[in-house]
Structure 1
Amino acid sequence: MAYRHLLVETNEGVATLTVNRPQSLNALNSEVLDELQAALDTLEADRTVKAVVLTGAGEKAFVAGADIKEMAAMTSHQAHTFAAKGQKVMLTLERMTTPVIAAVNGFALGGGLELALGCDFIYASEKAKVGFPEVTLGIMPGFGGTQNLSRLIGANKAKELIFTGKMIAADQALAWGIVNQLCAAEDLVPKALETARGIARVGTLGVAYAKDAIGSGLDMSREDGFRYEASLFGVLFATQDQREGMAAFVEKRKAEFKGA
């Protein structure tokens, strides 16, 4: 499928998905959100894709936010619909069995930070800056930012970032636990791809079930999370991947996982 604002490239079981509106710092408008939804649905359905790297075109921005020019004229009802559209994309990222790594190459503000937070984890350029500037526009995050950031770094730090509208540098984002790893700008996407290829080589179902256990467990009590984990662990013992992985270990050879 051809996209107006996205680039999709697949190699060695890894898809690179690039938001491609550099003239607008890759800002998210309704059309971009629709294309992201379609692309993520397509990648999730493609069983040859084992991992995804999500990044932004150009050197300045990952995604600088939602498109303010579009939002400025919205009615209350239209804004609610726009937020719901954005939240659907973020929930799709979270619920995909395919892991997604955000490679934040520049500004990740507002909807851009929300997009990165929807991914499984974030690698960032040392030049990146992140934040939620919505309050400086008289609004608030609307694509899940209040929920995802507070779950990731705790309510107090999330409140500080959201209430002040300030941007923080990549090293502070790392210290706060928003970002997993910092990279030199030229090394960012190659490093993310290296990690994605490593994920692509292991048991696809094991990764998918582990992602489910972590995400679902966050909304459960600890004991319920333990029980859910045990149930998924048991289900994996009915798969070809489990038999292949353990046979390969015993036979001292490389496993050939099929995702079945």
Structure 2
Amino acid sequence: MNCFSISVSGRSALILLEKKCTDPQALCRVLEDAEADRGIDFIRLRGADGSFTIGRAVSELQTFGEKEARVYAERGQRLVKTMRGLKKLIIAEIDGEAFGPGFEIALACDIIFATASSRFAFPEVNLGVIPGFGGTQLAARRVYETFVKYLVFTGDSVTAEELYAKGIANAVFADGASMNAHTDALCARLSEKSSFILGLAKETLNSGIEMDFDKALLFEQNAFTFSFSCEDKREGMGAFIEKRKPMFKNRWEDLRFEEE
């Protein structure tokens, strides 16, 4: 079943999520392919028909026992861990509903854009279960615990403006066209930066939040030190001193940072 429509423009891959997408592993494979493609620096996720969703229908979940539920959750959590582990930046563009797994996938993205009419929710409590794709943990790492508990306990939907006020959404737009145009412009601007350094910054942020403070500081120190061994450091600082535009060229495919 073809669950995704994929197109590449410039350095960005746009992945459209269809409502019929039920297998998190399928999206995992698409993302891993994009990560391996040297022509792609940014990954954009968007709902094909406005809704931002992935996962099984309630009628299917109703037939699950504990064994099937664990396999389903493991696949969903593998997806969000893959998303957070990719070196390329992932941007969610939401113009509609992002409920349940759709909300969880959005939270695994690096940047979240949404239209003013979009709504977000963890409705699982109304079905007698809880979120299983990492939503409770992803949300708690982005915003205050009390707000996350309210969303999970009530199942209430919230607006994009509310998520923006809480620091979860990065920006809210009047409509999909203005949101997409803004994302185009952002990707064009970021494409002028070092893709390696953007990936290193993402890894440092995502890894550090899982560590205690001292270990996180050491991780940052090691990453910072490693960046000084790269050609892009010499190019960036040289361009600054010479008052010219830098021409970065380092890529994750060619360099590998390993934590000491």
Distance 1:28 1:154, change over 3 A: farther
Cα distance in 2 for residues equivalent to 1:88 and 1:138: 23
- Identity of aligned pairs, percent? 31
Query: Counterparts of 1:201 and 1:9 in 2: how far apart (Å)?
Result: 21
Look up the match of 1:101. Answer: 91
Q: 1:255 to 1:101 in 2, by over 3 A?
A: same
CA contact (8 A) 1:28 1:67 kept: no
Q: Structure 1 residue 231: deviation in Å?
A: 0.9
Amino acid corresponding to residue 248 of structure 2 in structure 1: F
Q: 1:161 to 1:102 in 2, by over 3 A?
A: same
Q: CA deviation at 1:27?
A: 5.6
Distance 1:92 1:68 in 2: 25
| 2:84–2:109 CA contact under 8 A, matched in 1 | yes
1:164 Cα deviation from its structure 2 partner: 0.2
Partner SS for 2:141: helix
Q: Secondary structure at the match of 1:102?
A: strand
Report the aligned-residue RMSD: 1.6
2:139 to 132, 137, 149: 149
Q: CA deviation at 1:63?
A: 1.8
- Per-residue CA deviations over 1:220-243 (Å, capped at 9, x if unaligned) read 222322221111111111112222
Amino acid at match of 2:129: I
> Structure 1: how far apart are the matches of 2:56 and 2:242?
52
Cross-structure match for 1:88: 78
Q: Secondary structure at the match of 1:152?
A: coil
1:163 is matched with 153
Identify which range, 161-170 or 213-222, moves more after superposition.
213-222
- Aligned residue for 2:14, secondary structure, equals strand
CA contact (8 A) 1:28 1:111 kept: no
Equivalent residue runs for 1:1-260 within 5 Å: 4-19=2-17, 21=18, 26=19, 28-30=21-23, 33-59=24-50, 61-63=51-53, 66-185=56-175, 186-260=177-251
Distance 2:86 2:133 in 1: 17
Count of residue pairs brought into register by the alignment = 250
Greater helix proportion: 1
8 Å Cα contact 2:121-2:151 kept in structure 1: yes
The one-letter amino acid of 2:212's match is S
Query: Runs of 4+ in structure 1 displaced over 6 angstroms?
Result: none
Deviations 1:127-174 (A, max 9, x none): 100010001011110000010111111211110000000101121121
Q: Distance in 1 between matches of 2:49 and 2:139?
A: 26
Matched residue SS, 1:62: coil
Per-residue CA distance 1:78-130 (angstroms, 9 max, x = gap): 11101110111111111100010111111000000001001012010111000
Q: CA deviation at 1:197?
A: 2.4
